[in-house]
Structure 1
């Protein structure tokens, strides 16, 4: 027996509004973590430990491993990976037998950019300092919490969310892009993205460029944009029910 049109519309609307744990689970955990790290002072406590271990200064700020290898060359490798993916998409466009790859690659080309771009935009107005700018760590600025008024004359900070970590966390989109082809590939892609994001983020923390909460926010923004792009560009997958 066929479902009446009005009931079918209600069922579809309810399915769209049903909470998806793939979105709200990670975002909820990130919000809780940021609140704890900033509100309870865990950010500063962790940075204090790193600062003390480096001899009361950011000794690794200009070190070869952190600045040259991870920061400078890591960014270049991220760009190279995107360009390789773009070239692969153009090559596969000529092969109808690889049609199954077209939409996931189109998605990845967009989603791996939107996360980092959103992070960059957020940095421009959150006005949060890097640790190395703070009096607490040899700088000249007082510590100001997120979205709190800044003292006159200090200018805006641009360190929240973490920009360099977003180059790694932008690849969280692999979970959805590769997962559209094979669920196991999606989990592998997720692991790779988390690993790269952690390396980028921890390296910047060792340099005094970011607090841990900055990296958590970066990962959350990249995950959000990957999810949104997946909903718009990939075949609709069943929501993970709450």
Structure 2
């Protein structure tokens, strides 16, 4: 039991912390971010390669928001409707229930009621994640590449830890971590729902949501609106906010595929 518990926390907390340390050492303590952005910046036109491409902007930034936005809105509507079915009583609303069963509205409402916890988890995890991202943005005051003196702006480039203020806003910069990337990473909420039900494709859901977040964030680098490290940093912050919210909603027993209930462990036959 101890082995599975340690493994669970190592995977879900230890590895993300190691990734965060790697990001800090590889990007925040070096000039790697600037080297990558320099390669995408045209010193003759003083523009980033896709900085003013409207189609690219629409496809990767404006239209792409539909996925997390619609997911969050659908979860909110579903969570609200999940309280509707329990309001009906057979002795008082027989005709309405009969109509809803004929039109399959009853089955839909019953489905939402059964999955109320999951719908509420998606709503709350989206809200918690958004709150954390906005907190770090305002309490680090990091400016985007195009806003810095390196690429034609007026602001000094500084790392997030140089400006970090725990209790108060650090300034007007709002570029770290990547907000657009975090929008894609919030879809990791679906991974934790899949994990709860031991769905065999849960890891595929995780990979898909990670790729979505990296796609969202990386495209902004080509426009000069983020440094490369802003995207994986967003992923780390979203992961922790999602994981701890999922733990609050479901607990380790639901999220750990190797979890064995104590009573089952005591009654399990010994193996030789």
TM-score (norm 2): 0.72
1:212 has 2:228 as partner: yes
Among candidates 130, 137, 144, match of residue 151 of structure 2: 137
**Aligned residue in 2 for 1:28:** 18
Could you tell me which runs of 5 or more consecutive residues in structure 1 were left unpaired when the two chains were aligned.
1-10
Higher RCO structure, 1 or 2 (CA under 8 Å, sep 6+)? 1
What is the rounded CA distance, in whole Å, between the counterparts of 1:196 and 1:67 in structure 2?
Answer: 16
1:110 has 2:100 as partner: no
What is the rounded CA distance, in whole Å, between the counterparts of 1:110 and 1:204 in structure 2?
Answer: 27
**Aligned residue in 1 for 2:27:** 37
**Aligned residue in 2 for 1:61:** 51
Could you tell me which runs of 5 or more consecutive residues in structure 2 were left unpaired when the two chains were aligned.
86-108, 165-170, 260-272
- Give CA deviations for 1:31-55 in whole Å, capped at 9, x if unaligned: 3123311212111111111114996
1:88 has 2:78 as partner: yes
Q: Relative to 1, partners in 2 of residues 1:132 and 1:230: Cα closer, same or farther, differing over 3 Å?
A: same
**Aligned residue in 2 for 1:181:** 197
Q: Relative to 1, partners in 2 of residues 1:135 and 1:240: Cα closer, same or farther, differing over 3 Å?
A: farther
Pick the structure with greater CA Rg: 2
Q: Relative to 1, partners in 2 of residues 1:202 and 1:65: Cα closer, same or farther, differing over 3 Å?
A: farther
Among candidates 207, 211, 227, match of residue 195 of structure 1: 211
TM-score (norm 1): 0.80
**Aligned residue in 1 for 2:240:** 224
- Give CA deviations for 1:8-27 in whole Å, capped at 9, x if unaligned: xxx99xx69x8432122123
1:170 has 2:186 as partner: yes
Give the secondary-structure state (helix, strand or coil) at the position aligned to 1:170.
helix
- Give CA deviations for 1:203-228 in whole Å, capped at 9, x if unaligned: 11111111111111111111001110
Q: CA deviation at 1:91?
A: 4.7
